[in-house]
């Protein structure tokens, strides 16, 4: 893989998320990749995170990230924007299950790979939708 700037790698990762491309996401993850969610929970390792993304894309088939601002300091990239999608228990995209929340992402880029991907977002909107759909 060419030697891209940290910002370029982070934006390529977002593009892979928005296209729900597990292959592109995997290609951009370091073997020891770490994902950290808003609750501080970690998923470690490229293979484990590929599986986690696959499950998430089945749960939120139209998940996308919109980035408004990007800040870079060395290997660290911070992006601000919106995460949005529609929760689906069965593949159906119902408007009442659509959610959107302000979010921030912190990426640690090593070479041309994402070593860490951390999300800061209010997950309460999707938690409420999931709970409502389980009733």
pLDDT tens-digit series, residues 43-80: 999 999 999 999 999 999 999 999 999 999 999 999 99
86 in any annotated domain: yes
Number of domains in the chain: 1
CB–CB of 10/70 below 8 Å?
A: yes
Residue 1 lies in a domain: no
- 71, 77, 65: which is closest to 102 by C-alpha? 65
Q: Is 10 left (phi over 0), alpha (psi -120 to 50) or beta?
A: alpha
Q: 112 is in which domain, residue-wise?
A: 6-134
Q: Please tell me which residue, 135 or 17, carries the higher pLDDT value.
A: 17
How far apart CA 131 and CA 135 sit, in angstroms, is 7
pLDDT at 127: 81
Domain-located, residue 122? yes
Give the distance, in angstroms, between the CA of residue 12 and the centroid of all CA atoms in the same chain. Answer: 12
pLDDT tens profile 89-134: 887 889 999 999 999 999 999 999 999 999 999 888 888 888 888 8
Q: Specify the CATH number for the domain of residue 126.
A: 3.10.450.50
pLDDT score for 18: 98
pLDDT of residue 129: 84
- Is the pLDDT at 1 greater than 60? The verdict is no
- DSSP 8-state assignment for residue 61: T
Bigger pLDDT: 133 vs 135: 133
Which of 115, 130, 119, 132 has the alpha carbon at shortest distance from 44? 115
- Bridge partners (DSSP) of residue 42 are 36
- SS3 assignment, position 35: strand
pLDDT at residue 24 tops 70 = yes
């Amino acid at each position: 893989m060419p030697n891209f700037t940290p910002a370029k790698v982070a934006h390529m990762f977002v593009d892979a998320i928005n296209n729900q491309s597990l292959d592109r996401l995997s290609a951009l993850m370091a073997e020891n990749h770490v994902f950290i969610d808003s609750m501080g929970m970690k998923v470690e390792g490229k293979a484990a995170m590929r599986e986690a993304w696959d499950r998430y894309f089945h749960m939120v088939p139209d998940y996308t990230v919109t980035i408004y601002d990007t800040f870079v300091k060395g290997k660290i990239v911070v992006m601000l924007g919106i995460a949005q999608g529609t929760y689906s228990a069965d593949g159906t995209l119902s408007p009442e299950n659509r959610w959107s929340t302000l979010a921030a992402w912190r990426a640690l880029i090593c070479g041309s790979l994402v070593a860490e991907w951390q999300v800061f977002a209010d997950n309460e909107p999707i938690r409420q939708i999931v709970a409502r759909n389980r009733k």
